[in-house]
Structure 1
Amino acid sequence: MIFRHALITATLATAFAASAALASDDVLPSADDAFTKWGEESGWTIYVDGTRGSCLIERMDDNANVVQMGLTPNAEFGYLGVFTKADIGLKGEKEEIVLSLDGNLYSAEAHKKSKHLAEGYTGGYILANNPNFVNDVMKKHEMIVFPEKEFAFIVNLEGTNNAIEAARKCNTEQGS
C-alpha cells in the first residue's frame, strides 16, 4: 500500500473542513493495518482495511502517481491522498493548496505525508466532507493539483464514479 498548467476561470470554493479531533497520523491507514483485496472496479483496486473496518480505493497511473481515497476512522470525512516520486513542492507539514476538477476550483489544506510510504514516494492528503467536491471527484475526468504553479500535475480520475460506488458497497458489507 502506498500511497499541466491551466487557465483559472472559476471561483474558488471552500470544500474542505478540518477536524481538530483528527490527528494527522490517524487519517491515512497505517502500514500495520490488515488489508485484504475486496475487488477491482474501473481500474481501481478496492481494499478492506480490517483494522478500521472500512474500505478504500487505490490506483497507480501511467506516471507512477498513486491516488488513494477512503474514510477517516470516524467516517465523518473522506480523504483523498496523492503520492508521487516527483517533487510537488510541499514545504511544511500543512499547506493551503488549490485543486481543479475540470475547471471547478477547490481550496484545501494538504497534510504532508512521507513516513511509511514506499521508497521515493512523498505526497499528502486532504480531508473533505463537501458533497460538491465528492460529486466532482466522481463525475469529472481529471484533477489538476496546484493549477497555478509551475509544478502542477494532473491526476486521472477515470473510473472514480464506479470505484467509489463499489467502495460504498464494500463499506456497507463492513458495517461502516
Structure 2
Amino acid sequence: MNFKSTLKTVTIVTAYFATTTFASSDVIPSENDTFTNWGEESGWTIFVDETRGSCLIERMDENQNVVQMGLTKDHEMGYLGVFTKNDIGLKGKKEEIILSLDGNLYSAEAHKKTKHLAEGYTGGYILANNPQFVDDVMKKYDMTVFPEKEFAFTVNLDGTLKAIEAARKCNQEQTS
C-alpha cells in the first residue's frame, strides 16, 4: 500500500489552529527583534527574543530544512515555522497544508513567508494551540510536510522534547 492510499484511509485530525488573522509581525519574530543565545539542547539552539520577552528554538536538519518554534507576540499561541530550499508549491499567502507526525495527520493553514529569509529559502508557519499536536511535535521523530504531494519533504525532529522543555524554562526566566 502506498502512502497516498494510506492517507485516504486515515482520519485527518484537525489541529485547533488560530482562526484569528495575525499580521506576520505578530506571529514570528521580525528581523528588527533583538536576539541573544540562551543555550543549546539536543541539537536545537534556544534564543531569547529580547524584543518579545520570549524564547524560541531553531534547528537546521541534515537536508538544510530549518524548523523554528516559539510563541506569538502576545504569548497566547505557539507557532511552528518550516523553511526549505525545496520548491514546495506554496502559491498564495495562505494555503491549507497537511502535516504528518509519524502517521498522525494534522490539517492547518500555512502562512507563506519569503521576506527576511536566507537566500533560496521559502516556507511558512502555522499557529497551534492543540495539546495533541504539541505533544506529537515533542515526541515524534519525523514531520512530513504535504505528505500527499509529489513535492513532500520530511523534517527531522530529533531532540524536540528536551528542546521544548528547555525553551519553557527559558520562557519562565523571561517572565520572572
Query: Is the shorter-chain TM-score for this pair beyond 0.5, marking a shared fold?
Result: yes
Separation in 1, partners of 2:32, 2:173: 22
Task: Tell me, yes or no, if the aligned pair for 2:142 and 2:155 is still in contact at 8 Å.
Answer: yes
Report what 2:69 is aligned to: 69
- Percent sequence identity is 76
Q: CA RMSD in A?
A: 1.3
Match of 1:31 in 2: 31
Trace 1:119-134 onto structure 2 (pairs within 5 A).
119-134=119-134
Equivalent pair of 2:35/2:49 in contact (CA under 8 Å)? yes
Residue 18 (structure 1) shift? 1.8
Secondary structure, aligned partner of 2:161: helix
Residues 71, 78 of structure 1: 8 Å contact kept = yes
TM-score after normalising by structure 1 = 0.94
Distance in 2 (CA, whole Å) between partners of 1:64 and 1:32 is 24
SS at match of 1:173: helix
Q: Is the 8 A contact 1:16 1:107 kept in 2?
A: no
Partner of 1:100: 100
Counterpart position of 1:45: 45
The alpha-carbon deviation at position 134 of structure 1 amounts to: 0.1
Counterpart amino acid of 2:111?
A: H
Structure with greater helix percent = 2
Deviations 1:89-117 (A, max 9, x none): 10100000000000000000000000011
Structure with bigger RCO (C-alpha 8 Å, 6+ apart): 1
Q: Distance in 1 between matches of 2:16 and 2:91?
A: 20
Q: CA deviation at 1:14?
A: 1.1
Runs of 5+ consecutive residues of structure 2 not aligned to the other structure: none
Q: TM-score, normalised by structure 2?
A: 0.94
1:1-176 correspondence to structure 2 within 5 Å: 6=3, 7-8=6-7, 9-20=9-20, 22-175=22-175
Shift of 1:21: 5.3
Deviation at 1:19, TM superposition (A): 4.3
Aligned mates of 1:166, 1:136 — CA distance in 2: 17
